[in-house]
Structure 1
Amino acid sequence: MTRGIALVRRPGDRLAEGLVTYIERSDVDLARARRQHEAYRAALAEAGWQIREVSPADHCPDSVFVEDTVAVCEGLAVITRPGAPQRRPELPGAEKAARDAGLEVVRIEAPGTLDGGDVLQVGTTVYVGRGGRTNGEGLAQLRAHLATRGRTVIPVPLRGVLHLKSAVTALPDGTLLALPELLDATALGHPVRPVDEEAGCHVVPLGGDLVLLAASAPRSAALVAGLGFTPVVVDISEYEKLEGCITCLSVLIPG
């Protein structure tokens, strides 16, 4: 079964220079990071996703975190404008990959900023993190673009975390897994189940009952299994040193 296309971007030689904001910098093992990325891609492929690589951007240390460059909704690719200016050279490759995948393409324009890691889609609701790298103008432009797909965009204030998806993501049934101390949960209109592991609030529904999680969240994987889903666990520890999470390393385009 082919579920769709998974856009990924290989880590470049400068990965260890990636941005960190809320955590202390620690050494990144590039060889191990590359092995972990291969295992991540393999997990997506085994779950039925066709792997398509975005052209390398080795001069951009954070380019492996491809999620931040494009948000996809029902055949529409919104090319973002990252809040960190040094990440904007990542965009042309992401836009080309979106066009090659047959998506309609629109862009966030200056002075708007939007990171894809701030965009959480749950049914016809799209939650957007505010307080990190996404500003009000970027949010307004996203709202206008996604209105063409019948989506409602709701801002969610963040506290001490880089992106919304660093604080909350959704299971296939719409249940939200969250670290409540990192966001204003009153803005969320879906059921929220708190977790007690930071990586536990980072999940990627892969289709059917499959849910991708990081190996650093074993209790949360057990929770997901207890809710009737099948955890798919991968080790992304080298990316977690750069505030990356399981969602950051791919963009899924359903078939």
Structure 2
Amino acid sequence: MRSRKALVRRPGPRLAEGLVTHIARTPVDADRALAQWRSYVAALELHGWETAEVEPADDCPDAVFVEDTVVMYRNVALVTRPGADSRKPETRGVEDAVSLMRCSVNRVREPGTLDGGDVLKVGDTIYVGRGGRTNAEGVRQLRACFEPLGARVVAVPVTRVLHLKSGITALPDGTFATHPGLLDEPSLFPGRLAVPEAAGAHVVLLGGGALLMAASAPRTAALYEDLGYTPVPVDISEFEKLEGSVTCLSVRMRGLYA
């Protein structure tokens, strides 16, 4: 049976120690973060996504940002090698989780580094951000894994935000949503929609025109609604303090899985 699954991983007790790169550190409320995470998972499930919880990694402060640990294309999983050393142990539990599904499992090898947040898939085109967390060898290994399957891989410089998807995502019609000043090379993304809030550039496509997005972007939600979409706002303010967004809190998979 065709299904839609999403891998998620609950925030651990050391969440407040998570990495910050492009913003100032502010206190994180771990209890509030857990409540927000539960609401995020509930929103996925309400819109027809079956969630699978990856084994916790309580010693890894950033483990809740599970998207960075694996990239899916068709029935192939590429387990990443995160660019931050503190995050490298996060991949073990994720590899165990995807190994239980009916998909081929590959791994990024040293010296390659790749964060899943740097990978934006639009149809068979895969944009990959080359920046602070993903290096050239990581891009090369992603190409080697997915191009034989029919993917077109486009490398994109990223210096202004943490990950490529911190600056841009795609709407269901293929339009790219972004906020001015977040992209190094906007011309690589034809058909851009400038949204009024940076957090509004992050959407998860739930199906049927529903867009999971941060509650911190109400003007962008109004814009999306005016364009015929259905915004599904969730409060992720505690994760935004760690440069997190709605995209990085899950790994969405569409297809046939065991």
How does the TM-score come out when normalised to structure 2? 0.96
User: Quick check: 1:25 aligned with 2:58?
Assistant: no
Q: What's the counterpart of residue 160 of structure 2?
A: 160
Aligned CA-pair RMSD: 1.2
User: Quick check: 1:177 aligned with 2:207?
Assistant: no
Gap regions ≥5 residues in structure 2? none
Q: Please report how far the alpha carbon of residue 3 of structure 1 lies from its aligned counterpart in structure 2 after TM superposition.
A: 4.4
Alignment of 1:70-85 (within 5 A): 70-85=70-85
Q: What's the counterpart of residue 219 of structure 1?
A: 219
Residue by residue over 1:191-237, the C-alpha shift from the partner in whole angstroms, topping out at 9 and shown as x without a partner, is: 11111211010001011211110000111111111111111110000
4+ residue segments displaced more than 3 Å: none
Deviates more, 1:152-161 or 1:230-239: 152-161
Distance 2:152 2:212 in 1: 26
1:108 maps to a residue whose letter is V
State the secondary structure of the residue aligned to 1:239: helix
Gap regions ≥5 residues in structure 1? none
Q: Please report how far the alpha carbon of residue 169 of structure 1 lies from its aligned counterpart in structure 2 after TM superposition.
A: 0.3
Q: What's the counterpart of residue 193 of structure 1?
A: 193
Alignment length, in residue pairs? Answer: 254
State the secondary structure of the residue aligned to 2:187: helix
Distance 1:27 1:170 in 2: 31
Q: What's the counterpart of residue 99 of structure 2?
A: 99
Q: What's the counterpart of residue 146 of structure 1?
A: 146
| % identity of equivalent residues | 58
State the secondary structure of the residue aligned to 1:182: coil
Distance 1:217 1:137 in 2: 35
1:67 maps to a residue whose letter is E
Q: What's the counterpart of residue 108 of structure 2?
A: 108
Q: Verify the 8 A CA contact 1:212 1:233 in the aligned structure 2.
A: yes
Distance 2:186 2:223 in 1: 20
